[in-house]
Each structure stands twice: as C-alpha cells, then as structure tokens.
C-alpha cells in the first residue's frame, strides 16, 4: 500500500505543464542575464564615460540600457503570465477529482471536511500564479552572480557569499519557526468554518431557543485562538522578513565598503564599487523573496501533501462496461453495512429478494438499521460484505452516474439544490425535456402544486429549497426520484412531512411504479405509507427479523393489545392505527 502523500496524480498534473516550465526556465535564463544591465551600466559610466567626458558614449549606453530594460520587463511579464497559466492548467487537470472528493468523501469517511480538497487546489493554483515560484527559478543563478563578484575581486565575492549564507540560515529558521503556527492556524480555521456552517444551517434554532449567545462563546473562543495563531505567524514572518531586508542592505553597504577600500588601495576602479553593490543585491534577491513568501511555500506544500493523500484515498475507478437497463429483480445477499469509516456493522447479514412490480415496506424501531440498509441498497454506502444485485449484477458493476439512471432515491433528510424546481426534478440533466419533467411531477402528484408557485417550474428553490415548505420540498424530491421512470425507487420516510393530500399522492405514485414494473422500497414509521406495498421487511437490532407478505407480517407485528392497556398508557391500539393511520401520531 502506498504511503499517504506519495500519490503521483499531482505530479502527473504538473508534468502536463513540463514544456511550460522549460519555457519559464529559458525565460529565467535570459532574464537573469538581463539583470546584469544595471550593474554593468554603472561600471561603464564610472569607468568609461566619466573619465572620458564623452556625451555620445553616455547617450549610446543609455539607449542600449533602455532597450534592455524594456526587454527585461516584457520577459518578466511573460514569465508571470506563463506561471499563472500553469496554475490554471493544473486546476483544470484536478478540479474533476476534487469534485469527486467533495461528493464521495462524506460517504467514505465520517467527520471529514470534504470541501478542503477544493481549498487545497485553490492554494496550489494561487501559489503557482504568485511571485513565489519565480524565486525557485532564480535561486540557481546565485552562483553565476557570485562568480562575477569574485571576478571583480575575491574580497567582494567572499563578502557576497557570507551575506548569502546568512540569508540561507534565516530561511532555515523561517522554515522551522513558521511550520507550527501555520499548521495550528489551519486546524483552527477548519474548526471555525465547520462551526460557522453549523450556525448558518441552524440559525432558526439558535434564535428561537436563545442559544445564539451561549454557542457564540464557543465560536468566539475558536476565533480568538485562530487570530492569535495568525498573529504569531504574521509577527514571525514580519520579523524574519525585516531581518532579511536589513541583512541585504547591510551586505550592500558592506560590499560598498570593501569596494571603496579596494579603490583606495588601487586594487579596483570606482565603477566596481557601484557595480558590485548592485550585483550582490541582485544575487541575494531570490533568497530574500523566498523568505518573504515563505508562508506561501508552507501553505502550498501542506496543501500539496494533504490533497495528494486524499486523492490516494480516492483512487480513479475504471469505467465499467455499460450494462443493460435492469428490469427483472433486486436481490440483497448477506449484506452487512457500517457507517463511513466505521468497522462495527449497523446492519448484519441482511438477505431478501424482490421481483419487478413488488413493493417492500421496511419497518422497525428507531436505530434498527432501516436507513443504513437502504443507503447500501442505492449504493450511497459501501457494504462491509455481501452484495446488492440488479438482475444478477452487483451494483458496483455500474458507474455511479449510470447506476443513478436506474435508481430513484428520497433520503430522510431531503436537500434541494440551488436552481429551479424543473432543474431539481430533472436532476440537473441538460438533456431533460419539459415533457419528462412534467411526467415525473405528475407521477408524484405534485404538478398542480408546482404550477401554483410564483414562477411555476421556473421557481428558484434557493439553498436547500429555501422558500418552499418542508412538505413541498419532500414532494418535489419524490418527483426527482421518479424522473425518467427508474427501475428501483427507494424512499426513506417519504410521508414524514406530508398532509392528507400528500399521502394520497404518495400512495398513487408508489402504485404507479409497481404497475409499470418497477420495484419500490419504502422505509416507514407510519403504516399509511405501506398501503401500496405487497411485502414487508421487519428489522430489529440491525437484522432482518421477518420478510414476506404484508398482511401476514403486519398481522404478527400488530398483534391485538388489550384496550385497557392502551388506555392506561395513553396510546392508541393497533386496531385503531389500522382503522385510522393518523392515530399513530397521538
């Protein structure tokens, strides 16, 4: 097994830009030669123009230098644009994989922040487009400048070399001291982001129950710790950055001093004083830039390692052969299910079969494993062992996109996506026709409700269906589950927020699926959801306790209870429930 962080996918994405990096390296070569313009210009002015007093020579040199500076600016701009495009290209290579991480990680690992890969990719892209990488291309040219300094005079070369070593030591201290504050800030930032998102989604509860102030103290505590960590990191970077600048200025002055001493001794010319000062500053500029951008280096490196590990945890699956549309049966074979990243099964060795036209009602007490079972049936959760098969083929033989065509799913906690009602019903399929959308809405008995909305099918739902009641969202979710007549329709407590009209529409919709030869599975706490079912599966403690004909199973489960007992504990009797399903909520 590969170690985390050793995934080669990011390297391959960077590798697709190798010719761009070759071009950037060549541009850096030309640019670093052009960086000599200023120092050699000063050398010529002091050693040639001033002693000769030749104005034409000065004008000629000035014109040449102006042209070289223009080329220097153009090449520097082109190099920056190339780096920005490398960042964009890497993002284009990996954004599909980060989207997979966004949608699949919560189904594989509990408590994971699935939005982090997207932020990590943004960090890498922004780093590549920043000035920081230019330091990496300029660092190899430091010896080139130092050799020229030694050519002027060994004393000047050694002064520049010592200054460079000091800056390297500062860079090492920057790496050692910056790592911990940056990592701490990341952890605290993630905690604050998670808490903020929780507050946003539960704003009504916070306000109605007076919890805003109390929970706000938790948010304030984390925010204060984050601000403190960021301040320590900023203070450290400011201190080390200032130290590097002061060191470079002191080095420039030291080179001037050495040059002046050599001129006094007659070992160098006046032009060498200025030229060597400019050259030594240019030699150490990449080190100074790297120190100033060190926090960006650390963030990019951390994001690289984290994203690489996540992509390793989420390997690219081969596209399976497209199987025929299922039409005959569903079989669940010795299925055991655990939550994402869990090892203790919630559902153990569940087995049952259903043929086309069957409707299965799953009943049982809370926490008996009903929802976990249907999550595995639709492929949302991977089983620990066992299999779910459609027409004999395990569902993992379909890609998720292709399997979704044959499955309709209404989860217990329904979410609509930002968009229109029509887009949500059509599962955001751009090829969906108006006829297919209306057909699904009609099958769910929600067409009349939709056309009464302010903009009908073009009504914008907003985040999580904001603007619609819970019952309206649930009925639109049912239409989404029925879109394009999937073979397997799985509904988890589909009537939990429905009124009487909604219950009737639900029953008709389920009967319609069975009539067209589909299979329906309904998780139900209210017996009214079982009206259109012909089979019942009862669960308890994560195991299938009974499976068979509805009347037979319900006859055993809903055994008569003495009326006195029902009256004594204030609950309706099973007979009352069968006569009036609404009595269950009493």
CA distance 428 to 480: 10
CA distance 337 to 539: 14
pLDDT digits 0-9 by tens, 83-125: 999 989 998 888 888 888 877 777 777 666 677 788 888 889 8
Q: Which of 289-303, 353-367, 493-507 has the lowest mean pLDDT?
A: 289-303
> Residue 433 — pLDDT band, cuts 50, 70, 90?
very high
pLDDT of residue 327: 94
Q: Which pTM value belongs to this model?
A: 0.73
- What CATH topology corresponds to 8-312? ABC transporter transmembrane region fold (1.20.1560)
pLDDT digits 0-9 by tens, 474-527: 999 999 999 999 999 999 999 888 888 889 999 999 999 999 999 999 998 877
Residues of the chain with CATH 1.20.1560.10: 8-312
Pick the CATH number of 338-558 from 3.40.50.2000, 3.40.50.970, 3.20.20.150, 3.40.50.300: 3.40.50.300
- As to burial, measured by CB atoms within 10 angstroms (0-12 exposed, 13-18 middle, 19+ buried), residue 35 is buried
Of 342 and 330, the structure prediction assigns the larger pLDDT to: 330
CA distance 532 to 534: 7
| Residue partners of 538: CB distance under 8 A and separation at least 6 | 362, 363, 364, 544, 545, 546, 547, 553, 557
pLDDT of residue 476: 94
DSSP state, 420? B
> Residue 79 — pLDDT band, cuts 50, 70, 90?
very high
Q: Which residues pair with 353 in a beta bridge?
A: 331
pLDDT digits 0-9 by tens, 369-417: 999 999 999 998 989 999 999 999 999 898 888 899 999 999 988 888 8
CA 532 to chain centre: 41
Q: Which residues pair with 491 in a beta bridge?
A: 410, 522
CA distance 325 to 406: 7
Residues of the chain with CATH 3.40.50.300: 338-558
Q: Kind and range of the H or E element at 227?
A: helix 212-264
């Amino acid at each position: 097994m590969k170690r985390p962080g050793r995934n080669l996918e990011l390297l391959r994405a960077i590798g697709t830009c190798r010719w761009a990096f070759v071009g950037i390296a060549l541009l850096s070569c030309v640019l670093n030669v052009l960086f000599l313009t200023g120092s050699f210009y000063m050398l010529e002015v002091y050693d040639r123009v001033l002693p000769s007093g030749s104005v034409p020579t000065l004008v000629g040199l000035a014109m040449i230098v102006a042209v070289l500076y223009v080329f220097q600016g153009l090449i520097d701009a082109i190099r920056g644009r190339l780096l920005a495009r490398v960042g964009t290209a890497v993002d284009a290579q990996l954004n599909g994989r980060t989207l997979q991480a966004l949608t699949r990680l919560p189904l594989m690992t509990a408590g994971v922040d699935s939005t982090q890969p997207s932020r990590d990719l943004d960090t890498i892209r922004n780093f590549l487009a920043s000035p920081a990488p230019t330091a990496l291309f300029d660092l190899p040219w430091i010896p080139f400048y130092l050799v020229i300094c030694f050519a002027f005079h060994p004393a000047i070369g050694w002064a520049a070399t010592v200054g460079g070593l000091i800056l390297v030591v500062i860079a090492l201290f920057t790496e050692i001291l910056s790592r911990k504050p940056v990592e701490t800030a990341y952890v605290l930032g993630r905690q604050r982001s998670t808490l903020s998102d929780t507050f946003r989604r539960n704003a009504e509860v916070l306000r109605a129950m007076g919890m805003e102030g109390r929970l706000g103290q938790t948010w304030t505590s984390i925010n204060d710790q984050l601000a403190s960590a960021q301040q320590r990191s900023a203070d450290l970077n400011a201190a080390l950055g200032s130290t590097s600048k002061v060191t470079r200025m002191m080095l420039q002055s030291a080179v001037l001093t050495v040059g002046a001493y050599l001129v006094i001794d007659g070992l160098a010319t006046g032009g060498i004083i200025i030229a060597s000062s400019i050259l030594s500053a240019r030699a150490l500029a990449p080190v100074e830039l790297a120190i100033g951008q060190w926090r960006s280096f650390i963030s990019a490196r951390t994001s690289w390692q984290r994203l690489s590990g996540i992509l390793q945890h989420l390997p690219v699956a081969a596209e399976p052969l497209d199987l025929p549309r299922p039409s005959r049966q569903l079989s669940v074979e010795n299925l055991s299910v655990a939550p994402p990243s869990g090892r203790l099964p919630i559902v153990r060795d569940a087995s049952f079969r259903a043929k086309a036209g069957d409707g299965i009602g799953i009943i049982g007490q809370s926490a008996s494993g009903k929802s976990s079972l249907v999550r595995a049936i639709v492929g949302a959760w991977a089983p620990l062992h066992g299999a779910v098969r459609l027409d004999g083929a395990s569902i993992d033989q379909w890609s998720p996109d292709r399997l979704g065509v044959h499955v309709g799913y209404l989860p217990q906690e329904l979410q609509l996506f930002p968009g229109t009602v029509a887009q949500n019903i059509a599962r955001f399929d751009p090829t969906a026709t108006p006829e297919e959308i209306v057909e699904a809405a009609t099958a769910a008995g929600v067409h009349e409700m939709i056309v009464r909305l302010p903009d009908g099918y073009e009504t914008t739902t907003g985040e999580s269906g904001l603007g619609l009641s819970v019952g309206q969202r649930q009925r639109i979710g049912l239409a989404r589950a029925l879109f394009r007549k999937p073979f397997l329709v799985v509904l988890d407590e589909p009537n939990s927020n429905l009124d009487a009209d909604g219950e009737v529409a639900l029953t008709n919709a389920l009967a319609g699926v069975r009539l067209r030869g589909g299979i329906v599975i309904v998780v139900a706490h209210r017996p009214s959801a079982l009206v259109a079912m012909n089979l019942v599966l009862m669960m308890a403690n994560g195991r299938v306790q009974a499976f068979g004909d509805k009347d037979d199973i319900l006859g055993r489960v809903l055994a008569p209870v003495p009326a006195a007992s029902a009256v004594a504990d204030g609950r309706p009797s099973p007979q009352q429930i069968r006569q009036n399903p609404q009595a269950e909520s009493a």
